[in-house]
Chains A and B, each alone.
Chain A
Amino acid sequence: MTSTTPSSLNLRRKQIILRRQSAYCYEALTASVTAGSKIQSRKRTMPDLIEAINLYKIFATPVGDVHAVNGLSLNVKSGEVFGLLGANGAGKTTTLRMILGLMKPTTGKASVAGFDAATQPEQVKRSVALVSASAGLYQWLSPRELMHYFADLYDVADHAAQQRVELLTKLFDLREFIDRPCSGLSTGQQQRVNLARSLMHDPPVVLMDEPTRGLDIVGSKRIFDFTARLKEMGKAVIFCTHRLEEAQRLCDRFGLMFRGRLQLQGTLTELREKSGRDSITDIFLDLMQENDSTTEESMQPQPVVTVPKREGRSA
């Protein structure tokens, strides 16, 4: 389903696939309500909603090139939460940006719901919600206006947008301040508005970039509940964080990222088998020690040899 020659026919086909897929997610979802175990086997046959193959991102700097992402491959299915774990500066955000089509990979390929991030960024962006702790709100708009603005950004029709606002208001309990300016809201209320606006266009894929950064226990709990709900709804989720314990509870599969490389990947059981350690934190610490002794110079700028071209601009 990842075609290299985009044509209107292909596009149409992909849209159909996408719709079927989301319909399928809901079948799976209702099935999970009745028979929880069945879903695991059916999920295996589903196509990946997020797919990254051998991604490289090299930044040119005055002192030389920096390999921010170094040959990363991953895939996430519908109803699956993938934890992209790593220290600050490991390349998590860069990876997300390449998947989202904000940044073109130096080499490699990323696709979301069958759309190539590099060549069809618009369709990719339509299929993705970005949740980020650093994202702010417009102080002078009310949550309702804000949500309608995002409906405009995502080209959602008015009647559908109104329905969505109603639904999300109920889901995130926004009713009491829905028409007040955002500047007067508490941090928790702002966070709920932020989550609500990210779902305005009802995307199949959710990318979460350090969503719990700077939040208290209640705020973090809300994010976990939200992520769990997304999973139930059949979304494919990438959850980026450097807080390993919380990821361990939440994610189905993990990717441990270190200096632009995905060093280990798999479910918790698989990781335990590979490393012989029990907790993600221990596995990660082992990994760091290993790397420190072997690839000390990988953080140093390296002269580029194989990169054909300087990166272009995002759409």
Chain B
Amino acid sequence: MNPTGDHHSDELNLRQSKSATQGALKPRSSILRVLRLARKELRESLRDRRTLVTLIVMPLIVYPLLGSVVQRFAINRINPNSPPAIVVFDGSIPDELATAILEEAEPNSDPNRDDRAEKSVDGADSATRRDSVHPSPSPQDVATLLTGSSTADAIGSLTNRGDSDGPPVRFQRYEHPVKAQYVEEFLKAEDADVGIRQTPAAQDTTTGVVQPADFQVLSRSGDEFSLRAAVEVEERLLAFRDRHVRIRLNQTGLGSGIMPTISRQSVANNAPKSSPLGAFLPLMLVLMTMTGAVYPAIDLTAGERERGTLEILMAAPVSRAHLLTGKFIAVLTVAVLTAVINLVAMVLTLYATGFDRVLLADGATFQMFLQILALLVVFASFFSAVLLSITSFARSFREAQAWLIPLMLVSLAPGILSLMPGVHLTVGLALVPLVNIVLLGRELLQGTAATHLYFVALLSTLVYTMLALRVAASVFGHDAVLFGSSAGVSALTKRPGKIRLRIPVEIGIGWLMLLIPLFLILSALRSRIVPLDNLSGQLLLSGLLTILLFAVLPLAIAKWIRASAVEVFALHKFHIASLIGAALLGCTMWTIAYQVLIFSKAPLQWMEILNNTKLKELAERLTSETPFLIRIATLALVPAVCEELFFRGFLISTLQKNEKQWVRPFLISTLLFAAFHVIVDQSLTLERFPATFLLGLVLCGIRFSSGSIFPGIVMHALSNGLLLSLKELDPVLQFIGLNLNVENESSLPTWFLTISVLVSCTGAGLVWLGRKR
């Protein structure tokens, strides 16, 4: 303060500004406010040199470096200025033939040479090539001869330029011919790059059969240059032989018309090339985006705490959600900036080195650039949210870094998985965070990405973002974290003295975020354990998986954090009326759900994903190949119990702040419930959404009104069970005059629906009567 200043005038000033401040306390719109908060966070991040290094310097160094390394590597293989290949000849090979092979710039280019060759290459009918380290000669079969050299193709495919594009190999003859048995030694000693030896033509004196000459082209194994040269020599030999044969045929009067012509042509590749480099690029971009976001995320959360500014932030009249949103915007901006700079640096490097034509199906187009950018923006938002939710736990910079190392390792695993050539983006994988982005990036680069998968991946990543943000908002600045009492992660490790009545939001949503990818990945692994055609085994496994993920682990979590299982899973007593009502609903709701399903199929008919013959087939096989009891147990009883425990127990307990709040928790839980049922066997069945959503709402209603989970289980089991046993129930239904035509998916008769609705209403009424008071 100003000790010499005029106190009185200061006071007057303060008074004047007082009235101004009072009048100015009009609340701003919350968006504007959040943006102003974000401005400070951005300023802080962007002025920090450490952020700038990852943001600008890294991409400017990494991509050109990477590009030049790869380029050097590639140039070494096809360098036009590389030294000529030394060819050593077996002394028995006629000199004219050797000269002809070495001087031939292009096969078939000079037909005048044919005569000359004809004289010298007498009896050269077979040419083979072999590697010196594998001495047994591997004669190439007819198929290889007809399609051209497979080895040359492999090299050509690396650059996708084909043989004609590559610079020709120059040859130089070894000073003098050597004996056939020493050719191999010359190669081993690296005195020569290619060796040619022959077994001369011979005539069996007893039978008079002519044994044709056998040429062997030798290359040094493991030496790309030597191999390339050997392939070239082999081609020339083959061309030479063909011309020779043609001339001989003409001479004998048979005509060369019977000789098949062989030509080589390169064709654009339609099948997805699984170039490892093509998969590496998106992973690289993703990793760089991650590193860009890490530093600001730590600085803006754990850094606040370390500087002692978090407490004064908490003392300000601004909600934690607003503060966190401001920070999220800042981290996201930095991450997106990193992504853009990286993408631009990468595309420029690709252009400069000419690799875009090699790695990308259509070269680097602007549309692809935008698509990948959109992908990266969504991924950046997801990763920023995850980062914030983790760094918010940390008390210091160091602790935050310690937390992040496992996260980075964990996120590397799916990234590496997606590098594998056999892995393709399916609906299931499109829902697994990180994997979906890397796989989609790869398929975008190859031009094979399916539109619906693109949107599934983007949407699911957005959903994960929201979940992670929710966790972050409940963790960031939590009084317990700030003041060192038990909550957050410490709730998992320390365990409080008292029994909890609810699952804390960060733990519940954290489990949900783990559950979805776990469920999808484990479901996909099912076929590895039990063969796909063993349907009963598959069903039992999926039942076990459901029990594990939806019931056992949530129960274990509740036990571990000392939450009361009775409260969390609503294992309360209930009125008998609500049980009867739920049973009535279970007996009749399926008809309504069935009708909804049929109605919702009509508007969605045009979508490709719905005409899924594979699924239909699967459903038919299910009914015909598995015992009824297994079907009922794994598709009705287990899901009824486990899903009720999870969706109407664990999840509601997580989402509810108190007993009275129910609209939002129920809606979110039902949405998730319906979304889970849309994914069937790695496919999307959107038409199931409305029906399951309706059923989910009814189940929530029962849970709310009875205060217990048990009536819901009864209804769920009955409903699923009846739908499953329609075939078995057919005689009964026929008896009451109902001819269900399930195969044709026709609507139910009106009278039957009316009765169902009436019984359902009665059931709902009974449930209401038995409500918890």
Contacts and interface: CB of A to CB of B under 8 A. Distances in A.
B602 interface: no
B21 interface: yes
Interface string B307-338: 11101111111111000000000000000000
B20 interface: yes
A60 B496 contact: yes
Given A140-B43, A152-B40, A167-B13, A135 B311 contact: yes
B24 interface: yes
Interface residues of A, number: 67
A193 to B, nearest CB: 12
A137 B315 contact: no
B601 to A, nearest CB: 46
B309 A136 contact: yes
B315 A130 contact: yes
A103 B314 CA distance: 10
Interface string A45-68: 000000000000001111111000
B14 A233 contact: yes
Interface in A214-251: 222, 225-226, 229, 232-233
A141 interface: yes
Given A150-B316, A152-B36, A172-B1, A157 B309 contact: no
B494 interface: yes
A283 interface: no
Contacts of B36: 152
Given A22-B18, A137-B307, A154 B483 contact: no
Contacts of B480: 313
Given A59-B485, A130-B311, A171-B10, A156 B21 contact: yes
Contacts of B20: 159-160, 163
A59 to B, nearest CB: 5
A60 B317 contact: no
Given A135-B308, A136-B307, A61 B316 contact: no
Given A60-B486, A222-B1, A125 B11 contact: no
Contact of B24 (A22, A138, A157): A157
A202 B44 contact: no
Given A145-B40, A171-B5, A314 B314 contact: yes
A33 B317 contact: no
B317 A130 contact: no
Q: Is the interface of B mostly helix, strand, loop or mixed?
A: helix
A44 interface: no
A225 B7 CA distance: 12
A60 B315 contact: no
B497 to A, nearest CB: 5
A97 interface: yes
B21 A33 contact: no
A157 B18 contact: no
B470 to A, nearest CB: 14
B26 A135 contact: no
Contacts of A201: 21
A134 B308 contact: yes
Interface string A154-188: 11110111011001001111000000010000000
B21 A313 contact: no
B17 A202 contact: yes
Interface residues of B, number: 56
Contact of B315 (A125, A156, A310): A125
Interface string B392-424: 000000000000000000000000000000000
B2 A172 contact: yes
B8 interface: yes
A126 interface: yes
Given A155-B33, A173-B2, A313-B478, A97 B497 contact: no
B51 to A, nearest CB: 10
Nearest to B40: A149
Contact of B1 (A22, A61, A229): A229
A157 B21 CA distance: 7
B528 interface: no
A62 B28 contact: no
Given A140-B47, A141-B40, A155 B317 contact: yes
B315 A128 contact: yes
A202 B1 contact: no
Given A126-B25, A141-B40, A222-B1, A154 B317 contact: yes
A310 B498 contact: yes
Contacts of B44: 138, 140-141
Given A202-B21, A233-B11, A135 B312 contact: yes
Contact of B25 (A22, A155, A232): A155
Nearest to B13: A167
Contacts of A140: 43-44, 47-48
Contact of A132 (B3, B15, B312): B312
Nearest to B487: A313
B1 A173 contact: yes
Contacts of A100: 315
A128 B13 CA distance: 20
A155 B319 CA distance: 12
Contacts of A81: none
Interface of B: 1-3, 5, 7-8, 10-11, 13-18, 20-28, 33, 36-37, 40, 43-44, 47-48, 307-309, 311-320, 478-480, 483, 485-486, 494-498, 500
17 contacts: A26-B18, A62-B496, A64-B497, A102-B479, A103-B479, A132-B311, A136-B309, A137-B307, A137-B309, A140-B47, A152-B33, A155-B26, A155-B318, A173-B5, A202-B18, A226-B1, A232-B7
* Those 3 A-B pairs whose CB atoms lie nearest each other, nearest first: A157-B24, A136-B307, A160-B24
Given A100-B315, A132-B311, A314-B314, 7 more contacts: A126-B25, A138-B44, A140-B44, A160-B17, A164-B17, A167-B14, A225-B1
Interface of A: 19, 22, 26, 29, 33, 59-65, 97, 100, 102-103, 121-123, 125-126, 128, 130, 132, 134-141, 145, 149-150, 152-157, 159-161, 163-164, 167, 170-173, 181, 192, 195, 198, 201-202, 222, 225-226, 229, 232-233, 310, 313-315
